[in-house]
């Protein structure tokens, strides 16, 4: 009996649910490369994928799906390129997981679509929105409208990565037209053992919410910034450019960071032809590097050791701003 093998690649930002989605679908114990978080992602999780995730789903007696997941951080971009050129060059499609709790999920979409542009030219692109149970907006209609404005005509599916039956919607969308003999209901029932959904206890005829699980205190934005080796201080400013919080001990650096934020506004006004300025970096051979990252409603300033890559600093700032409460 001939076995047909399919492949799918999952990608997306840190904490978007890639590892969880693959574990929900896999018939085997997934192969992963989790390591303790050592950057801004500590605000959301204690471990993160640093190389790849891999699982296998038997769709039927004659069809099998291989599940691959990329690391989320841009600093592991070399793994994206390796996987696209070798492991999943013949994949059915790319599933882009989008965390709905991010301040601007469309910023993530634009970034990953650009990074994987050559890969998705010849393959299906499915956008799978996660964490909508925590934050309902943007909704499906809004996503479709924004994607149309971006020139992206693709499928958007809202899923819960912890629920195998929910994630199966992606699989059905990808291979359902190719494999007509899959027992989707039976497949969902078989995968229920993989579910990591919170349990709901039942008393009599009434459902009872699960008991709250004690967790560590949430990590503040500034503490998360300092979790990255080489970051020595951070300052968070609001839309009025007043300081919301700061752990920059050096007064001169703190004043410089605030001045740099104001300088960005001045440059945008005086040199409007340059367009929007998102970041400004001040560095020298001996001193700490000072960087500011500016949005309309907030700004973040970071002090970092001179040897720390600017790309690493920028990635930390992007994630911190995407998860900030403003």
Q: Per-residue pLDDT tens for 93-117?
A: 999 999 999 989 999 999 999 999 9
SS3 category, 268:
helix
Tokens 């997981």 belong to which residue?
A: 97
pLDDT average, residue stretch 65-86: 83
pLDDT average, residue stretch 296-311: 89
Tokens 């300025």 belong to which residue?
A: 277
Q: What is the pLDDT of residue 314?
A: 86
The Cα 130–Cα 150 span in angstroms is: 20
CATH code for 4-201?
3.40.50.300
128 pLDDT more than 60:
yes
Q: What is the pLDDT of residue 205?
A: 54
The Cα 168–Cα 25 span in angstroms is: 7
Tokens 């601007």 belong to which residue?
A: 104
Average pLDDT, the chain: 85
Nearest to 10 by CA among 91, 90, 77: 91
The Cα 206–Cα 203 span in angstroms is: 6
203 pLDDT more than 70:
no
Q: Where are the beta strands (DSSP E) in 85-183?
A: 93-99, 124-130, 155-158
Q: 221-322: what fold?
A: Beta-Lactamase (3.30.450)
Domain boundaries of the chain, sorted by first residue: 4-201, 221-322
- Residues in CB range of 238: below 8 A, 6 or more apart: 244, 297, 298, 326
pTM for the model? 0.71
Q: Is 54 exposed, middle or buried (0-12, 13-18, 19+ CB in 10 A)?
A: middle
5 pLDDT more than 50:
yes
Contacts by residues 71-76 (CB-CB < 8 Å, ≥ 24 positions apart): 71/33, 72/11, 72/12, 72/13, 72/14, 72/15, 72/16, 72/18, 72/41, 72/48, 73/14, 73/39, 73/41, 73/48, 73/315, 74/311, 74/315, 75/311, 75/312, 75/315, 76/50, 76/51
pLDDT average, residue stretch 54-64: 95
Report the residue count for the chain: 326
């Amino acid at each position: 009996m001939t076995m047909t093998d399919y492949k799918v690649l999952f990608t997306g930002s840190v904490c978007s649910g890639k590892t969880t989605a693959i574990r929900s679908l896999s018939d085997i114990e997934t192969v992963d490369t989790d390591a303790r978080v050592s950057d801004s992602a500590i605000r959301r999780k204690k471990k993160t994928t640093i190389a790849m995730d891999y699982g296998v789903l038997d769709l039927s007696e004659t069809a099998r799906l291989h599940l691959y997941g990329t690391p989320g951080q841009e600093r592991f971009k070399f793994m994206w390129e390796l996987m696209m050129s070798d492991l999943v060059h013949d994949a059915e499609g790319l599933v882009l997981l989008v965390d709905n709790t991010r301040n601007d999920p469309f910023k993530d979409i634009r970034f990953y679509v650009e990074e994987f542009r050559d890969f998705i030219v010849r393959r299906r692109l499915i956008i799978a929105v996660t964490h909508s149970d925590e934050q309902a907006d943007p909704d499906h209609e809004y996503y479709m409208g924004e994607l149309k404005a971006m020139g992206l005509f693709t499928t958007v599916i809202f899923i819960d990565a912890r629920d195998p039956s929910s994630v199966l919607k992606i699989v059905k969308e990808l291979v359902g037209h190719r494999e007509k003999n899959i027992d989707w209901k039976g497949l969902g029932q078989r995968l229920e053992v993989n579910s990591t959904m919170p349990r709901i206890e039942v008393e009599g005829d009434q459902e009872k919410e699960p008991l709250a699980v004690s967790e560590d205190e949430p990590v503040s934005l500034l503490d998360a910034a300092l979790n990255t080796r080489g970051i020595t201080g951070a300052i968070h400013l609001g839309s009025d450019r007043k300081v919301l919080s700061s752990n920059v001990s050096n007064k001169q650096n703190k004043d410089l960071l605030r001045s740099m934020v104001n300088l960005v506004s001045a440059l945008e006004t005086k040199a409007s032809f340059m367009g929007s300025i998102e970041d400004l970096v001040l560095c020298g051979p001996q001193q700490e590097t000072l960087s500011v990252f500016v949005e309309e409603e907030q700004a973040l300033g970071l002090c970092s050791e001179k040897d720390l890559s600017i790309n690493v600093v920028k990635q930390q700032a992007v994630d911190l701003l995407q998860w900030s409460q403003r």
